[in-house]
Amino acid sequence: MKNTITLSELANKREIFIDYSAVFNTHFVNMMIEQARPLHNAQKQITVHRSVLNELTKLAENGSIGDSTIAKERIAQLNALNSAGVVNYIGNSLEPRSSNQQYIELMVTYRNKKDLAFISDNDAFIADIELQNKISSFPGNQITVFKYDENGNLVEDACETLDVNESDDKIKSPESGDKVDRLMSMFGLN
């Protein structure tokens, strides 16, 4: 069994980046419901590249009905978390490259100055990040990669974790009130 870590514990040790696949996963919402308040109280943030928002927007506009709905919810949730200071947006939203390409560039750039943690649910992208740790021409700190386990916990050494079945974990939104207020309430930030 792998050791799990909470987002708050991880934020005390490293700067956290999260990609599209981890945000789109249902476990992201559950994790933020539990960890948004502790992150906010500790004045820690998760960094999300604006290209992740672009990918969610494209899915919201062109995806299946189910994926489109989830993408719209994630955009609203990220914006609520950003307004509360829990999520920090970086990067240029007009950049045409994929978020994965831009994240790799950021990892190579920042790893000399910071201890980085990356949360992803995409095994191919995780392998690309871990490859950066093995390239000797890019010196710096090791980038630690995390993935959700089957219970939604963050585990290190992500390439060996089990795949998550998202279809069983649909999130229900509260029915009444202003959407931003409901989201802030859901994450314990109001």
CATH number at residue 136: 3.40.50.1010
Task: Answer whether residue 160 shows pLDDT above 60.
Answer: no
The pLDDT value recorded for residue 162 is 31
**In angstroms, rounded to a whole number, what is the distance separating the alpha carbons of residues 143 and 10?**
13
Q: Which two tokens stand for residue 11?
A: 């934020």
The pLDDT value recorded for residue 188 is 80
Q: Which one has a higher pLDDT value, 179 or 106?
A: 106
Task: Answer whether residue 138 shows pLDDT above 90.
Answer: no
**In angstroms, rounded to a whole number, what is the distance separating the alpha carbons of residues 80 and 182?**
10
Q: Which two tokens stand for residue 157?
A: 């050494």
Q: Residue 101: which pLDDT band, with cuts at 50, 70 and 90?
A: confident
Q: How many domains does the chain have?
A: 1
**In angstroms, rounded to a whole number, what is the distance separating the alpha carbons of residues 24 and 54?**
13
CB proximity list for 85: less than 8 A, separation 6 or greater: 40, 43, 45
Task: Answer whether residue 91 shows pLDDT above 50.
Answer: yes
Q: Which one has a higher pLDDT value, 133 or 12?
A: 12
The pLDDT value recorded for residue 177 is 53
**In angstroms, rounded to a whole number, what is the distance separating the alpha carbons of residues 28 and 82?**
15
Q: Which of 122, 158, 162, 160 is nearest to 143 (CA)?
A: 158
What's the pLDDT tens digit per position in 51-73?
Answer: 999 999 999 999 899 999 999 99
| Beta strands at 116-119 and 143-148: parallel, antiparallel or unpaired | parallel
Most confident among 98-107, 120-129, 136-145 (mean pLDDT): 120-129
Task: Answer whether residue 82 shows pLDDT above 90.
Answer: yes
Domain hosting residue 8, numbered range = 4-186
- The pTM score is 0.79
Task: Answer whether residue 97 shows pLDDT above 60.
Answer: yes
**In angstroms, rounded to a whole number, what is the distance separating the alpha carbons of residues 59 and 12?**
33
Other Cβ atoms closer than 10 A to 7? 23
The pLDDT value recorded for residue 46 is 95
